[in-house]
Amino acid sequence: MDTFRKLKQFYWPYKKFLFISLFFLLFVTGITVVYPMVLQITIDEVVLGGRYNLIPILAFGFIAIMAVKGISTYFHQYLGELFGIQSVYVLRHALYKKLQKLSFKYYDNAKTGDLMSRLTSDVEGFRFFLSFGFAAVIRITLLILISLVVMFYYSVPLALVTMASMPFLAVVTYRFDKKVHPAFRGIRKSLGRLNTRVQENVSGIHTVKSLSREDFEIGRFSDSNGNYREHYLHTANVWSKFFPLMEFIGNVSVVLLLSFGGYLVIGGELQPGELVAFFSLVWYIVWPLTDFGFVINQFSQAKASGERLLEILEQEEDIKEQPNAEEKLRINGHVTFKDVTLTYVEDDDEALKNISFDAPPGKVLGLIGSTGSGKTSITQLITRFYEPEQGEVLIDGKPVQDYSLKSIRKNIGFVLQEAFLFSTTIKENIRYGNPDASMDEVIDAAKRAQAHDFIMEMPNGYDTMLGERGMGLSGGQKQRIAIARAILINPSILILDDATSAVDMETEFKIQKALKEVMKGRTTFIIAHRISSLKHADEILVLEDGEVVERGVHEDLLKNEGTYQRIYDIQYQDKDVILEHQHG
């Protein structure tokens, strides 16, 4: 029950629904045990005793208790569902909130399909036990206890003989629980992997088709699907062995009942109606114990689901906000790095090594280097997506840890290398970071990002609905909308992470021209592979293997005959050959 104890905060506030539901369950269970008693009276008093005047009383009484049972069943089931639904509503909200707070380090290793599985099927599995499992345990316990009381009331010896097989039922149930829980946990993990496989395939369907890898993907899906099937078959095997054994033990109880009960009736120590009632009551014990297997099934699934949910809820947050963190509406944007070292994975190579620089407001800092050299890592430290192992990152002379995360990120316009757009209108995508922006401000930001013209050519202009991840737009169009989104928040710090990589040279020129106005007075970081995107920067840092190997302005770096000039030569040698050929 440790899993349920840890998740108690989510369902215990709604315990009143559970307790009221259980109150009505008392009526339902009690009335259920009345059936055999009515049958006993009918046989012993009416049929054998000749008291036919009891027939109307029994009939109307039976109708009355059936009505009470029907009403009680309604409230029991509805309130039980309300208890489960309300509990997982809060639980799902807490999970989603937690996912928003977890750092990039967590998502570096997380699988989208697995996370989706946890927030859907695992949450639903936990809800099902809250709605029905708790009540089922109480129902089974009450039904067995009340049935035993009535059986002992009719005949103590016969009750003891009938109960002889019950310890075997308890042992079988216990062993079943030990086997079925690991089986269901395997199913949950396997389902998460299967969902991940589907999600990755759908997200990357363009790549799959362009490289004719459909058969390969079908094979990978078949492996995951087969693994899921094997886990389910193993669970089904455990399940299939349980019920025949439970039924066999139950039938042994019935044989003992009929044999000894018949002997008592012949000896006059038990009435025929009481034996018939006994026969019904013994199944009120055997079948609930068998049903206990279903409850264990639900419990095991809920426990396995709860464990997976706790893995998210108990995940340590790498980026923590200090209790006294400063809330600041506007920062100046003076960024300073002092001997900063960053390692993404413990005992792995350092992504950044002793990085130092100073970028006052209005300065444009260019970052260039090969893939994996540490360019993006620098900007991710400014926004506190990661924490450095050594050194300090300062904004306006204060460590970034002194500010609230919202204060920092609301003042930074971040355009990623791969622009992400949401499945909503173009207008809502642009003002995602500033939802209160007017339409005029949205249009102005789009114009600055050279996006207004193509937006107006769309079927509904700014109200055009976009497909998933901006489906329907070219890479350059998506990137220009992302740039407009960054411009609209009026940031103090502007980070362009290869922001013009997906546009043609003409569009890049237009965007760079527009961004010159936007960058005035703002600290701007330009990450680029193309020298043309950052040669006008106030300072350029050239990185290799996490270290700054060169720094300076474009003209001075070309004179150094180092890494920067080598990159320049690679990018411009073909152009020079063409120009020489034209002049020749």
Q: Which domains does the chain carry? A: 2-313 (1.20.1560.10), 326-411+495-501+521-584 (3.40.50.300), 419-490 (3.40.50.300)
pLDDT tens sequence across 447-491: 888 889 889 998 889 998 887 666 678 777 888 888 888 888 888
For tokens 């193993």, the residue is: 234
| Residue 467 half-sphere exposure toward CB, CA atoms < 13 A | 5
Please enumerate in sequence order all residues whose Cβ is within 8 A of that of 154, keeping only pairs 6 or more positions apart, or say none: 40, 270, 274, 277, 278
Examine the pLDDT at 512 and tell me if it is beyond 80. no
User: What's phi and psi for 117, nearest 5 deg?
Assistant: -65, -40
- How many helices (H) and strands (E) the chain has is answered by 22, 10
Whether the CA torsion 146, 152, 155, 158 is positive or negative: it is positive
SS3 467: coil
Q: How far apart are alpha carbons 407 and 331 in whole angstroms?
A: 8
What average pLDDT does range 27-50 have in this prediction?
Answer: 81
CA torsion angle 403 406 412 418 (round to 10): 130
Ranking 522-526, 562-566, 579-583 by mean pLDDT, the lowest is 579-583
Query: What is the pLDDT, as a whole number, of residue 27?
Result: 87
Ranking 19-23, 88-92, 234-238, 512-516 by mean pLDDT, the lowest is 512-516
CA torsion angle 26 29 32 37 (round to 10): -70
Structure confidence at residue 541 as a pLDDT band (50, 70, 90): very high
* CB 185, CB 3: distance < 8 Å: no
Query: What is the pLDDT, as a whole number, of residue 205?
Result: 66
What average pLDDT does range 521-547 have in this prediction?
Answer: 87
Question: Which tokens in the block code for residue 457?
Answer: 């050519």
Ranking 85-89, 224-228, 309-313, 376-380 by mean pLDDT, the lowest is 224-228
* CB 488, CB 512: distance < 8 Å: no
Q: What is the pTM of this model?
A: 0.74
Question: Of all helices (H) and strands (E), which one includes residue 358?
Answer: strand 352-359
pLDDT tens sequence across 316-331: 888 888 888 888 888 8
Among 334, 378, 332, CA closest to 354:
378
